[in-house]
Amino acid sequence: MSSSNNVQKSHILKQLVFPARYEQLIKEVGTEFARLLVAPPRSTLNLIETVAESIKARGEGLFCPIMAPSGTGKTTLAHSLRTFFPSHFSDTVDHTGEVSYEALMVTIERAKSKINANDDRVIPINIDHREGNPATGVEIANIKRLLRDAGGGNRTLLLWPETTSEIAKEISDGYVRVAGRSPINLPILIEGPERESWPSIAKNTLEVSNNVESLELLGVNPNDYSAAEFHSIGDYLRQISDDFTRHRIEILQETRRPIHLIIAVASESSDAGVLSQLTNSSRFGLADSSALLDATKTSEVGRWWLDRRGLLTQMNLQLDVRLFGIPPSVSVPILRQHGPESVKNDLISLGVEQSGHYAINRSISRSDIGKYIDGTANPTFETRGTPSRVSLPAFSLLAEVGFTAGRDKVLNKAILAAIEGYLKNQDRECSNFKAEKSLDFMPLVPDISFDLGNDTYCIEVTWRKGDFLTTTNRANIAAYVLKKIQNYARELGHA
């Protein structure tokens, strides 16, 4: 396998974002943007509805310079008209480049191509690249001509956002002199969402942008910021974004090297089973703190973490905790190849043949752990078929012998040997392969550890008999995971 085929994902703390501006938010969340919208005050909504009705009544488009301080949400509002007034407006389209009749008509035609031919709603066009650069007399004349054109300009709302009242009034007065009285007072003054809604907007932005719940527990909680101290929602969000980014980096740097903690359950289960209920639905295998606590409310470790929910969120992200199963189709060939002699002999007695390095590497690449290490996994677990007729009884035999009294340690060494062979076969930048040994940079003793690139991977393997990843073992598995996270938190000096 070539190393060029591998797309190792960065640590989750490097992936978390807090978009504070519209453009970045759209880039991160796309169509989920609508979930974050909070309506502006009724006065602003009434004004926008009047604009739409005026365009329809007059049979000609309307030029609307918009005045509001920077960070109020002008761009966000301009792109939300369809959400707030779906019967009045189609999707907003941005216009860049020269403000001429011909160029604006191209933008209108582009907008019309995205809607049905019989859709007669107002088309909002947003000119968002000219703040501080007022329209010239020629441009105003072009705008007047456009908005009276029956080819589409006559049902267009042309928005021109401005942050200074002087420029906004200059543009408005210039247009009225050329085009005549406007049905509404220009420029239009808009307000952003009520301050009471700002904390919920910030929390929702965190969650939707990252597909991770309760990120406010990480240490930067929007409720701790007084909205009254900020001039605009933009200033408010930028402050939280800056603090969130700084805190996120501080947490990542606490361990000197980014750590990825994989908690793996080796059993007869052929797929992820109940792990899908304990992990994030959008981030492959990432432990879900809330689900783990819900499953263990009555246990000692569950009660311990209930009093430390913020720390649990922090540790879950600081350690990038992932939960995966190791099915017999993966574990048995590895043990036949790399296991201790006693295990090899037991497997030979069952007719388990040696698979060879190529077959083992292929099975690892198809496993959840392999996909995670390679960065090739889909966001959710994939259902697999039934285990082979050989691997399932072979694993059952190993379970009968038992995994306690240190027997699991030699099995872990076999898993480590297979992963080492897998990574080196790909010419990956990997080193420091250890079993039951302390990390070089902190007093942790994982079952398995190795360095991959600039990150350290720790794998804690629990060997269990039977089809273990079933809902009946949900609480048992969750408690085991929370106990492991607790041990790591203590070693990191957090508890």
Do residue 275 and residue 237 come from a single domain?
no
Do residue 297 and residue 372 come from a single domain?
yes
With 70 as the cut, is the pLDDT of residue 29 above it?
yes
> Can you read off the two tokens belonging to residue 468?
């273990």
Do residue 185 and residue 121 come from a single domain?
yes
pLDDT band at residue 4 under the 50/70/90 scheme: very low
Following DSSP, what letter does each residue of 276-330 receive, concatenated? GGSB-SSSTTBB-HHHHHHTTTTSHHHHHHHTTHHHHHHHHHHTT-EEEEE-HHH
Percentage with pLDDT > 70 across the chain: 95
Which of 231, 253, 275 is a domain's end point? 253
Residues 482-493: pLDDT tens digits?
A: 999 999 999 888
Do residue 271 and residue 245 come from a single domain?
no
Residues 262-281: pLDDT tens digits?
A: 999 999 999 999 999 999 98
Do residue 282 and residue 163 come from a single domain?
no
With 70 as the cut, is the pLDDT of residue 404 above it?
no
Q: 199: helix, coil or strand?
A: helix
Give me the mean pLDDT over the 1-13 stretch.
Answer: 62
Do residue 219 and residue 363 come from a single domain?
no
- Give how many domains the chain has, as a whole number: 3
> What pLDDT does 139 receive?
94
pLDDT band at residue 395 under the 50/70/90 scheme: confident
Reference 326, options 407, 426, 418, 444; nearest CA is: 418
With 90 as the cut, is the pLDDT of residue 421 above it?
yes
With 60 as the cut, is the pLDDT of residue 3 above it?
no
pLDDT band at residue 382 under the 50/70/90 scheme: low
With 90 as the cut, is the pLDDT of residue 125 above it?
yes
Give me the mean pLDDT over the 146-156 stretch.
Answer: 92
> What pLDDT does 420 receive?
97
**Model's pTM, two decimal places?**
0.78
Reference 363, options 345, 336, 344; nearest CA is: 336
Contact indicator for 488, 321 with CB cutoff of 8 Å: no
Give me the mean pLDDT over the 57-75 stretch.
Answer: 90
Contact indicator for 445, 425 with CB cutoff of 8 Å: no
Q: Which domain holds residue 351?
A: 259-491
Do residue 227 and residue 167 come from a single domain?
no
> What pLDDT does 30 receive?
72
∠ CA 428-434-439 to the nearest 5 degrees?
100
> What pLDDT does 1 receive?
41
Residues 287-346: pLDDT tens digits?
A: 999 999 999 988 999 999 999 999 999 999 999 999 999 999 999 999 999 988 988 888
Do residue 128 and residue 142 come from a single domain?
yes
Reference 154, options 123, 188, 187; nearest CA is: 123
Sheet (strand 430-435) strand order: 322-326, 259-266, 455-463, 448-452, 430-435
Contact indicator for 330, 363 with CB cutoff of 8 Å: yes
With 70 as the cut, is the pLDDT of residue 134 above it?
yes
Task: Determine the straight-line distance between the first and last CA of the chain, rounded to whole angstroms.
Answer: 43
> Can you read off the two tokens belonging to residue 24?
């970045």
∠ CA 40-42-45 to the nearest 5 degrees?
70
With 80 as the cut, is the pLDDT of residue 400 above it?
no
pLDDT band at residue 348 under the 50/70/90 scheme: confident
> pLDDT averaged over the chain?
89
Helix locations, 39-184, DSSP H: 42-58, 74-78, 81-84, 101-112, 137-147, 165-179
With 90 as the cut, is the pLDDT of residue 89 above it?
yes
With 90 as the cut, is the pLDDT of residue 429 above it?
yes
pLDDT band at residue 34 under the 50/70/90 scheme: low
Do residue 98 and residue 240 come from a single domain?
no
Assign residue 163 the CATH number of its domain: 3.40.50.300
> What pLDDT does 406 receive?
66
pLDDT band at residue 128 under the 50/70/90 scheme: confident
Do residue 429 and residue 305 come from a single domain?
yes
With 80 as the cut, is the pLDDT of residue 401 above it?
no
Which of 174, 189, 204 is a domain's end point? 189
For the chain, what is the radius of gyration of the CA atoms?
Answer: 30
With 50 as the cut, is the pLDDT of residue 209 above it?
yes
469: number of Cβ within 10 Å: 24
Do residue 299 and residue 433 come from a single domain?
yes
Residue 446 phi, psi (nearest 5):
-75, 160
Contact indicator for 146, 105 with CB cutoff of 8 Å: yes
With 60 as the cut, is the pLDDT of residue 374 above it?
yes
Beta partners for residue 259, in sequence order: 456
> What pLDDT does 2 receive?
41
With 80 as the cut, is the pLDDT of residue 137 above it?
yes
Do residue 432 and residue 315 come from a single domain?
yes
| CA–CA gap between residue 70 and residue 64 (Å, rounded) | 17
